Amino acid sequence: MIKLQNIHKSYDMGSNKLHVLKGIDLNVGQGEMVSIMGSSGSGKSTLLNIIGLLDNHDEGDFYLDGMLIRDMNETKAARLRNQFIGFVFQSFNLISFKNAVENVALPLYYQGVPRRKRNKTAMEYLEKVGLTDWAEHLPSELSGGQKQRLAIARAMISQPKIILADEPTGALDSVTSMEVMELFKEINQSGITILIVTHENDIAHLTQRIIKLHDGLINSDHKNGHHQPLNVQAIAV
Amino acid sequence: MFDLDKWQEIFNTIEKNKLRTFLTGFSVAWGIFMLIILQGSGIGLQNGVENEFRSSATNTIWIWSGQTSKAYAGMQPGRYIQMTNEDHDNISKTVKGIDKMSSRYQIWNASTISYNNEFGSFSIRTVHPDYLYIEKMQITDGRFINKMDIDEYRKSVVISTKVKDALFKDEDPMGKYIQVNTVPFKVVGIFTDEDGRDENMQVIYLPLSTAQRVYGAGNRINTLAVTVGDASVEESKAIQEDIRSRLAARHKYDPTDDRAMFLWNSVEEFQKFKSLFASIRLFIWIIGIGTIIAGVVGVSNIMMIVVKERTKEIGIRKALGATPGSVIGLILQEAILITGFAGYIGLVLGVGLLELISKQIDTPFFRQPEVNINVALGATLLLIVAGALAGFFPARKAAAIKPIVALRDE
């Protein structure tokens, strides 16, 4: 589903260059639930943005569902995002002046689905995350956990192949975090690939595979519970 | 553009952001409103001045005699000049460029005019037929003084609608005889003067020749009036000087003596007012354009703030699959809708206020303020385009922002 080969990414910080990703090789198959860990500045969010087509990589090959992604223009990237990828963010990123059902329905608006139909579909997804009673409420009237469930419903509605979650539990208490992770697991069981960026160990351990990033390189990649040093050379650097 | 769903999305956004919408709309509506009020006032001023001139033709030279103030050909100053019918005939024959011409003799003794038991005191003007055009009167019934009245010394009279109301009430005055200083005259016509000023309405007109004979004026006249067609200021001045020198020769006074004969050239006066209008109009345009520029700057500012405020929303929309084109379209269409609607509101309010004012105000030199609808529509269109442009550049910039930058947590 996701195939990365020697991905490099650097940012211009005025006069000097910040080399964030220094050659990432990664394969994620369909239906996997993977967590990406690493300290801040290790490049985990940048990696997620590149996979999510929110950012371009400088070097290397990136295949998404068998398609080579290179020099995407904005319009094409937007279409692919809409079709393939659902996003869940730490700060939820709901549109504050739209109510729950309108927020969930928004990706379908960009697919050209008629209003009535997309609101009906949105209600189905709200039911799946247990927010039917809150359909007419604005995000500001919801709790953190409810907001994140709303964001997950929004990520789901376009029936993506991949869900990318950037610190989805970062703003939630532990009980709510567990509820959200349960939701992700259910979604994963329906065959959707899920990538979660987190720095919390107990969250990472709820996934099947943990990838640890350090200083722009993959430090370790192991099935949950089994430590598997992947690339000896990479560690040596 | 006519995608119903897109409009629903826009109306939804507007409905949820009332204050922002109001502020944008207000600056546009205010700009248009001010422009219309200014334009309207300017035109009101112009209409007022033009109206002051409407009572008589704007191409007339008036001539009336005075008293000499300079010694000439052995004669002492202080001599009274008296014009006569011969002056009229001489000027009419010799001066070129004259279109219409009439003498006037004013009956000065108390003018009592009566019909049966109704009495009134009105001015009596005794004139030639051409006077109709000089004073720009409208005949509502019958006719004005004609050449046969003059030639045959007929006792005909033309009365104003006001005189008719005073003497005849509901009776038809045509063909009836009224007493003018105890002499009966037959009513042959009724006139009205469009400006409705009393001094031009409390008047009756008699044939000059008849009046001179009946009231013992001999061949004396007080005033001469000639129109000069569509002559320019220079041409009218040449005619004026021609008349002055001929009269000076006939009455033997110094042609430079400006107290012996008074000449008033309305072409020249009207030209002065015309250049005054031009200055007023220019002034109003400058202020109007200034107002529009202020409006454009206001709209641009607000649009930039709006786009900045919406950066995060745009980032979210892009992450969910909005293309840059759809983001720009959304912001632009909203900007155009708001500025268009607000511009229309300003237009309606401005025109409404002008209508109200024009009904209330009736003073000289300010009349019927109105606005050129093309100017108003043009200004509204300009503001819409400005709003769209002002929205377009920040919108394009916002659409080009990477979603990750827009979504970055503060």
* Per-residue pLDDT tens over the stretch A86-119: 999 888 999 988 899 999 999 999 998 888 999 9
The span from the CA of B260 to the CA of B258, in Å, is 6
Whether B84 contacts chain A with CB within 8 A:
no
Picking from B267, B299, B327, the residue at the C-terminal end of a domain is B267
Whether B403 contacts chain A with CB within 8 A:
yes
Partner-chain contact B323 A91, CB within 8 Å? no
For B288-337, give the DSSP string: HHHHHHHHHHHHHHHHHHHHHHTHHHHHHHHHTT--HHHHHHHHHHHHHH
* Per-residue pLDDT tens over the stretch A147-192: 999 999 999 999 999 999 988 998 889 899 999 999 999 999 999 9
Q: Is the predicted pLDDT of residue B398 greater than 80, yes or no? A: no
By 3-state DSSP, what share of chain B in percent is helix, strand and coil, each rounded to 5?
55, 20, 25
Work out the mean pLDDT of chain B and round it to a whole number. Answer: 85
Are residues B281 and B244 both part of a single domain?
no
Partner-chain contact B321 A97, CB within 8 Å? no
Residue of chain A with shortest Cα separation from B407: A93
Question: A21 to chain B nearest CA, in Å?
Answer: 16
pLDDT of residue B160: 92
pLDDT of residue B48: 78
Are residues B232 and B313 both part of a single domain?
no
Are residues B44 and B76 both part of a single domain?
no
Residue from B346, B328, B329, B331 nearest B382 by CA? B346
For A112, the 3-state DSSP assignment is: coil
Nearest CB partner across the interface for B320, out of A90, A106, A112? A106
For residue B312, which residues of chain A lie inside 8 Å, CB to CB? 93
Are residues B173 and B87 both part of a single domain?
yes
Question: B328 to chain A nearest CA, in Å?
Answer: 12
The span from the CA of B390 to the CA of B385, in Å, is 8
Buried b (16+ CB within 10 A) or exposed e, A168-193: bbbbbeeebbebbbebbeebbeeebb
* Per-residue pLDDT tens over the stretch A192-232: 999 999 888 889 989 999 999 998 899 888 887 544 444 44
Partner-chain contact A55 B17, CB within 8 Å? no
Worst-scoring range by mean pLDDT, B31-35, B43-47, B169-173? Answer: B43-47
Whether A106 contacts chain B with CB within 8 A:
yes
> What average pLDDT does the segment B4-15 reach?
77
pLDDT of residue B195: 65
* Per-residue pLDDT tens over the stretch B64-116: 999 999 888 888 888 999 999 999 999 999 998 899 999 999 887 667 889 98
pTM of the model: 0.65
Whether B407 contacts chain A with CB within 8 A:
yes
Which of B329 and B154 is assigned the larger pLDDT? B154
Whether B375 contacts chain A with CB within 8 A:
no
Question: B31 to chain A nearest CA, in Å?
Answer: 29
Burial class (CB in 10 A: 0-12, 13-18, 19+), B131: buried
Cβ(A199)–Cβ(A37) under 8 Å? yes
Partner-chain contact B407 A79, CB within 8 Å? no
* Per-residue pLDDT tens over the stretch B215-226: 888 899 999 999
The span from the CA of A153 to the CA of A125, in Å, is 6
Q: What is the ipTM of this complex?
A: 0.86
Q: Is the predicted pLDDT of residue B1 greater than 50, yes or no? A: no
Partner-chain contact B319 A111, CB within 8 Å? no
Are residues B194 and B246 both part of a single domain?
yes
For residue B407, which residues of chain A lie inside 8 Å, CB to CB? 89, 91, 93
Which tokens sit at B352?
């409404």
Nearest CB partner across the interface for B404, out of A54, A110, A114? A54
Partner-chain contact A74 B316, CB within 8 Å? no
For residue A111, which residues of chain B lie inside 8 Å, CB to CB? 321
Cβ(A20)–Cβ(A9) under 8 Å? yes
Question: A234 to chain B nearest CA, in Å?
Answer: 28
Cβ(B371)–Cβ(B40) under 8 Å? yes
Are residues B140 and B199 both part of a single domain?
yes
Picking from B267, B288, B305, the residue at the C-terminal end of a domain is B267
Whether B121 contacts chain A with CB within 8 A:
no
Type of residue at B170: D
Which tokens sit at A88?
């869940």
Are residues B356 and B226 both part of a single domain?
no
Q: Is the predicted pLDDT of residue B242 greater than 50, yes or no? A: yes
pLDDT band at A33 (very low <50, low <70, confident <90, very high): very high
Beta-sheet strand order (sheet of A59-64): A16-28, A2-13, A59-64, A67-68
Strands A193-197 and A162-166: parallel
Are residues B141 and B191 both part of a single domain?
yes
Nearest CB partner across the interface for B321, out of A79, A94, A95? A79
Helices (H), A60-205: 74-84, 100-109, 115-128, 144-157, 174-189, 201-204
Whether B321 contacts chain A with CB within 8 A:
yes
Mutate to test the interface with B, among A73, A110, A118, A158 (most CBs of B within 10 A): A110
pLDDT band at B304 (very low <50, low <70, confident <90, very high): confident
* Per-residue pLDDT tens over the stretch B181-240: 889 999 999 999 876 677 788 889 999 999 999 988 889 999 999 998 888 888 999 999
Are residues B134 and B174 both part of a single domain?
yes
Mutate to test the interface with B, among A97, A111, A158 (most CBs of B within 10 A): A97
Partner-chain contact B409 A97, CB within 8 Å? no
Mutate to test the interface with B, among A46, A79, A82 (most CBs of B within 10 A): A82
Residue of chain A with shortest Cα separation from B315: A93
pLDDT of residue B239: 92
Partner-chain contact B5 A75, CB within 8 Å? no
Are residues B183 and B263 both part of a single domain?
yes
Q: Is the predicted pLDDT of residue A74 greater than 90, yes or no? A: no
Q: Is the predicted pLDDT of residue B131 greater than 80, yes or no? A: yes
Which residue range(s) make up the domain with B331?
4-53+272-408
Are residues B287 and B380 both part of a single domain?
yes
- The third-level CATH classification (topology) of the domain covering A32-43+82-236 is Rossmann fold (3.40.50)
Mutate to test the interface with B, among A73, A84, A98 (most CBs of B within 10 A): A98
Whether A109 contacts chain B with CB within 8 A:
yes
Nearest CB partner across the interface for B324, out of A75, A95, A98? A75
Cβ(A83)–Cβ(A77) under 8 Å? no
Whether A12 contacts chain B with CB within 8 A:
no
Q: Is the predicted pLDDT of residue A234 greater than 50, yes or no? A: no
Q: Which residues, 6 or more positions from A148, have their beta carbon under 8 angstroms from its beta carbon?
A: A88, A92, A168, A169, A171, A172, A176, A180
> What average pLDDT does the segment B321-339 reach?
85
Are residues B156 and B48 both part of a single domain?
no
Worst-scoring range by mean pLDDT, B133-147, B289-303, B347-361? Answer: B289-303
Q: Is B256 left (phi over 0), alpha (psi -120 to 50) or beta?
A: alpha
Instruction: Give the percent of chain A with pLDDT over 90.
Output: 52
pLDDT of residue B393: 82
Dihedral sign, Cα of residue B256, residue B257, residue B261, residue B266: positive
Residue from B22, B54, B32, B127 nearest B353 by CA? B32
Q: How many domains would you assign to chain B?
A: 2
